[in-house]
Structure 1
Amino acid sequence: MTAPAALRHLRRSSSRRRHGDLLPALAFVLPATFGFVAFYIWPTVRGFYFSLTDYSLLGPARFVGVDNYKQMIDDRLFWNALLVTAEYVLINIVTQTVLALLIAVLMHRLTRSIVVRGIIMLPYFVANVVVAIVWYWMLDPQIGVINELLNAVGVDRLSFFGDTAAAMPTVALLNTWRHVGYTALLIVAGMQMIPRTFYEAAALDGASEWRMFWRVTLPLLRPVMALVLVLTVIGSFQVFDTVAVTTSGGPVNATRVIVYYIYDQAFNRFHFGFASAMSFAVFVLLVGIAYVQLRLTRAHDSDLS
């Protein structure tokens, strides 16, 4: 067989293999594609349609154009809910990121025990509603164990969920406690991709652990930290169950986050069109925030490549 004929034979064989792999590949991709379309794409399109209607579940949807968006812009409670959510996101992201970095460095540099990682992840495996109820009892101003301990050392009892200044930090720190282990393990996974030769070279140069963290670990973690920040910001904007179980948006709207306000408008007041408009606005906002985060952190670049 001549060289050109052999080359054509190899090309035909490769083409047949590709076509033969197409059907199994589609069979594996199809369930995930169906789920994505059914549970993400279709609800998004349907929600945008409802945002243009006056739909109350009690009758057919009536098209009203952008009236819901105008009402949203003029709604003082909507902007208050966004500010409250921003406060929650700021507290949660700062505390969760700092604590997760600290825990990840300790696990990576001192111990890699599976038992330790399991203990750190344990709060994440508990349902968020259960966590909220348990902490609600523990922080109760009358019978809560935390206030009993404060009272024992001479500190006045605190109404953690009933005080307008303390309610939102309490909710944010509660969720920080639950999610910090998961975030720490994501960061640990990123640290394990950093070759140990970098640390060995830095140690030979006389770098301390603190200097290695700032000069080696943190710069090489940039893509992972970008992913962690995007996930935690999006997740923080979606906080609902903790607020619903503990404060119900109070006191005096101090914890009425945007998702709880959307829920209240949709399922308590039956303003589904208005709630859909707010939902779509939050969706666009999160897409913009995620894009800005990825651009500023240069998540697509890695110093390891």
Structure 2
Amino acid sequence: MTALPAGPRARRGGRPGGRPARRPDGEGPRRGDLRAALVFLLPATIGFVVFYLVPAVRGAWFSLTDYSVLAPPRFVGLENYDRLVHDPLFWNAMGVTATYVVINIGLQTVVAIGLAVLMQRLTRSVLVRGAVLLPYFVANVVVALVWFFMLDYQMGVVNVLLQKVGVDPQAFFGDPTLALPTIALINVWRHMGYTALLIFAGLQAISPQVYEAAELDGAGAWRQFRSVTLPLLRPVLALVLVVTITGSFQIFDTVAVTTAGGPIDATRVIYLYIYDLAFGQLDFGYASALSVVLFVVLLGIALLQLRLTRANESDAS
């Protein structure tokens, strides 16, 4: 007897309605998997909605109102944004914040890449990695206060050492030209270990065979770093830059416990200005407008970074 060709049901796995049959090893899709995934996602989703999404929507609404805790919000449209355009303190705060980001991220990225390469080439000890990461585990306020006392003009240990070598003491937090770079360097010291470990993890993904091929072609250590390491690290560096630049724009606590925005607004960063408007002057509507603008600026910077660094592409292939 001649065998008849398989019908549509047979070709689709023998299940009515065209559903694929479960594989005999039990690894096929199961209804319980989606249910379990939703259960595990639920706490994070609730936290995101309650602590991020709802406050963001309320903040966007408040930015269109004249609002303080002493009276209900009064809708004013785009008045707060028009005020923002003509506010010199806002532009000063944005300029101070941008200067801080350039100093902090520029030094932090260079130092972190150097530390990561040294750990890759010289030692991969867990103890060394823990020591490099140790400053990151100390609270930012504690780090700021320790450095504040160490850099004190009269009794700080740093100025005492400078006097011993014949250098005049420096008002690190009192001089308008030194205050912002000092704060930036403090945060470089605290965060460079964390950034270095992120880059170090990216270095582990680069195959040693690539370096062997480059060495056979006569490339020295610097040429290998410039032509092999940096291109292959591009996706990791893009992620690191997005995270660190976004975090640097949110600088607040170090400034709040050291200079409080002084001297002469030299360290009045945008977060400190927003905080003062909201909780010092109870001008929540205008503070919300500044927060919305800052969000848009950070979103634009992140998207521009990802585009310029081609973060979704890799040279590994």
TM over 0.5: yes
| Pairing 1:271–2:272 present | no
Gap regions ≥5 residues in structure 2: 1-5
Gap regions ≥5 residues in structure 1: none
- How far residue 12 of structure 1 moved from its aligned partner, in angstroms, is 4.5
The within-5 A match list for 1:73-222 is: 73-222=85-234
Aligned partner of 2:124: which letter? Answer: R
Bigger drift between 219-228 and 21-30 goes to: 21-30
- Indicate the percent of aligned positions where both proteins have the same amino acid: 62
| Pairing 1:5–2:10 present | yes
In 1, Cα distance between the equivalents of 2:224 and 2:307?
26
In 2, Cα distance between the equivalents of 1:259 and 1:142?
30
Q: Equivalent residue for 1:21?
A: 33
In 1, Cα distance between the equivalents of 2:69 and 2:181?
36
Q: Secondary structure at the match of 1:13?
A: coil
Runs of 4+ in 1 over 6 A off after TM superposition: none
Aligned partner of 1:203: which letter? Answer: E
In 2, Cα distance between the equivalents of 1:236 and 1:24?
37
| Pairing 1:292–2:298 present | no
In 1, Cα distance between the equivalents of 2:29 and 2:165?
74
Aligned partner of 1:168: which letter? Answer: L
The structure with the larger Rg is: 2
The within-5 A match list for 1:42-81 is: 42-81=54-93
Deviation per residue, 1:104-134 (Å, 9 max, x gap): 1000111101011101000000000000000
Out of 218, 226, 235, which is 2:247 matched to?
A: 235
- How far residue 206 of structure 1 moved from its aligned partner, in angstroms, is 2.4
CA RMSD in angstroms, aligned pairs only:
1.5
In 1, Cα distance between the equivalents of 2:221 and 2:28?
55
In 1, Cα distance between the equivalents of 2:46 and 2:77?
30
TM-score (norm 2): 0.93
TM-score (norm 1): 0.97
Bigger drift between 188-197 and 57-66 goes to: 57-66
In 1, Cα distance between the equivalents of 2:240 and 2:156?
34
Q: Equivalent residue for 2:53?
A: 41
